[in-house]
C-alpha cells in the first residue's frame, strides 16, 4: 500500500513539473513573437513618416481630436533644433560682419547715399561714368543720386559761376568798357582766345562770353577790373563761397585754369542754386550763341553746352569746364520730370561722356516719375 502511494505521488510531481516547463516554453515563444511584431510594426511607421512628414499644425489637431498627449521631443531632436538655431545666428552675424567690412569698398563702386525713392527704381541700371556726380533738388534736401560727391577735386571753368556772382554783387556799371591786357593771357595752360590784347568790350559782354563760351581772358579781365584789383577779387570769391556754406571749396583765380581751384559736387550744387537767383547768370549761361563786335570785327561765339539748344531739355543755368587735372565737367539747373534739380558732373573722360551722363540721368528720372516711383517735390 505504501509502495503504491509513493508511486502515485511521484507520478503527480512529474506531471506538474512537465506542465510548468511546457508553460514556460510557450510563454517564451509568445514573448519572442510579441517583440518581433513590435519591430515589424515600427519599421513601416518610420518609413511612412520619412516619406510624408506631417506639419505641426495638422499633427497637433490630430492629437487634440484623439485626446492624446503630445509626446515630448527627443533629446536628439532638441539638439538638432538648437544646433540649427545656433547656425542661423552665426550666419546672420557673419553676414553683418561682412557687410560692415565691405562698406568702404562698396562706397567706391556704387553711388553713395542714393535717396530711397529713386534707389529702388532702376538705380542699378543708371550707369554714370563721370568720376563725381550729384543730382539733388534745387532747394536742397536729400540727394536723388550721388557718386563720390564729397570728394575734393579741381573744378576748371565751373569757377566762372562764382566769378559772375562776385562781379554782380559789386553792382558795377555793366556798360563800362574793360580792356584785355597781357595780364589776361593764359601762360599757365596756353589756352587760346580770339580776344586779342588791346581788345575793348563792355563788362556785360565780357560776362556773357565768360559764362556762355567760357572765355578765359574775359573772365580774368572782369576780376582785374574789380574794386581793389585781382587780389581783392579772389578774396571776395572765397568769402562768397564761405557764406554759401561751401566749406570744402577754394579759389585762386577767376578762370579755373589753375588746378588749385577745388570743390566738391555738394559744394557746387550750393553754388549753382545760389547763382540761379541771378537773372543775368541764368540768361547768359543758357544763351545758345552770340555775335560780338571786337576791334571792328564780328566774332561768333556759341555755348559750350550743346544741351541748351535741345528741345527735350529745360535748362535754367549751365556751365561747362575742362582742364586736364579736372577732366570734362558740367553743372546745370534743369527741370526734369517736373522737378527742378541741380545736376553736377565732374571728371568725365570726354565731352560726350558728360552729355551722355546728363541724358542718362534725365531718362532715369523720367522713367521713375512715369512709373510713380518718385514723387516730384
Closest-CA residue to 130 (of 298, 274, 320, 376): 320
Catalytic residue among 132, 214, 318, 348: 214
Strands 262-263 and 153-154: antiparallel
E strand or H helix at 272:
helix 265-275
| Residue given cell 554782380 in the structure block | 168
Q: Which helix (H) or strand (E) holds 364?
A: helix 351-370
- Is 35 a residue of the active site? no
DSSP state of 72: P
Place of cell 547768370: 281
Task: Report residue 337 CA to chain centroid gap.
Answer: 20
Straight-line distance from the first to the last Cα atom of the chain, in angstroms, rounded to the nearest whole number? 130
According to DSSP, the residues that pair with 147 across neighbouring strands are 133
Cell numbers describing residue 154: 579741381
- Neighbouring-strand partners of residue 322: 328
Assess contact for 282 and 308: CB atoms under 8 A: no
Determine if residue 319 is labeled as part of a ligand binding site.
Answer: yes
The interaxial angle of helices 159-169 and 203-212, nearest 10 deg, is 160
**Buried/exposed code over 324-335 (b: 16+ C-beta within 10 A; e: otherwise):** ebbbbbbbbbbe
Secondary structure letter of residue 54 according to DSSP: P
Neighbours of 19 (CB within 10 A): 10
Instruction: Tell me which residue has cell 578774396.
Output: 235
* Whether 231 contacts 241, CB under 8 Å: no
Catalytic hit among 160, 240, 328, 362: 160
Looking at the chain, the number of H-run helices and the number of E-run strands are: 12, 11
160 is catalytic: yes
The distance from CA 106 to its chain's CA centroid, rounded to whole angstroms, is 10
Angle, vertex CA 213, rays to CA 323 and CA 257, nearest 5: 25
**What are the binding residues?**
319
- Residues catalogued as catalytic: 157, 160, 214
**What are the binding residues for substrate?**
319
Amino acid at each position: 500500500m505504501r509502495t503504491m502511494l509513493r508511486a502515485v505521488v511521484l507520478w503527480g510531481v512529474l506531471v506538474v513539473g512537465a506542465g510548468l516547463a511546457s508553460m514556460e516554453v510557450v510563454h517564451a515563444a509568445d514573448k519572442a513573437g510579441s517583440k518581433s511584431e513590435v519591430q515589424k510594426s515600427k519599421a513601416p511607421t518610420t518609413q511612412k513618416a520619412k516619406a510624408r512628414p506631417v506639419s505641426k499644425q495638422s499633427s497637433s489637431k490630430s492629437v487634440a481630436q484623439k485626446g492624446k498627449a503630445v509626446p515630448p521631443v527627443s533629446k536628439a531632436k532638441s539638439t538638432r533644433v538648437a544646433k540649427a538655431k545656433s547656425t542661423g545666428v552665426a550666419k546672420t552675424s557673419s553676414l553683418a560682419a561682412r557687410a560692415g567690412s565691405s562698406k568702404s569698398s562698396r562706397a567706391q563702386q556704387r553711388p553713395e547715399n542714393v535717396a530711397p525713392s529713386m534707389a529702388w527704381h532702376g538705380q542699378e541700371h543708371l550707369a554714370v561714368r563721370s568720376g563725381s556726380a550729384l543730382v539733388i533738388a534745387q532747394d536742397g534736401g536729400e540727394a536723388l543720386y550721388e557718386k563720390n560727391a564729397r570728394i575734393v577735386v579741381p573744378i576748371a571753368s565751373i569757377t566762372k559761376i562764382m566769378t559772375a556772382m562776385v562781379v554782380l554783387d559789386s553792382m558795377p556799371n555793366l556798360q563800362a568798357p574793360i580792356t584785355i591786357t597781357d595780364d589776361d593771357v593764359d601762360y599757365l595752360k596756353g589756352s587760346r582766345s580770339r580776344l586779342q590784347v588791346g581788345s575793348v568790350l563792355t563788362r556785360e559782354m565780357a560776362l556773357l562770353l565768360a559764362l556762355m563760351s567760357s572765355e578765359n581772358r574775359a573772365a580774368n579781365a572782369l576780376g582785374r577790373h574789380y574794386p581793389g584789383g585781382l587780389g581783392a577779387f579772389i578774396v571776395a570769391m572765397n568769402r562768397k563761397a564761405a557764406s554759401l556754406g561751401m566749406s570744402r571749396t577754394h579759389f585762386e583765380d577767376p578762370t579755373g585754369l589753375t588746378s588749385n581751384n577745388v570743390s566738391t559736387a555738394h559744394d557746387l550744387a550750393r553754388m549753382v542754386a545760389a547763382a540761379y537767383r541771378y537773372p543775368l547768370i541764368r540768361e547768359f549761361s543758357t544763351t545758345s550763341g552770340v555775335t560780338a563786335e571786337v576791334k571792328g570785327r564780328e566774332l561768333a561765339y556759341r555755348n559750350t553746352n550743346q544741351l541748351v539748344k535741345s528741345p527735350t531739355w529745360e535748362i535754367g543755368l549751365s556751365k561747362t569746364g575742362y582742364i586736364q587735372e579736372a577732366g570734362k565737367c558740367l553743372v546745370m539747373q534743369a527741370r526734369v520730370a517736373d522737378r527742378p534739380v541741380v545736376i553736377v558732373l565732374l571728371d568725365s573722360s570726354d565731352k560726350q561722356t558728360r552729355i551722355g551722363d546728363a541724358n542718362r540721368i534725365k531718362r532715369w528720372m523720367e522713367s521713375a516719375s512715369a512709373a510713380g516711383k518718385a514723387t516730384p517735390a
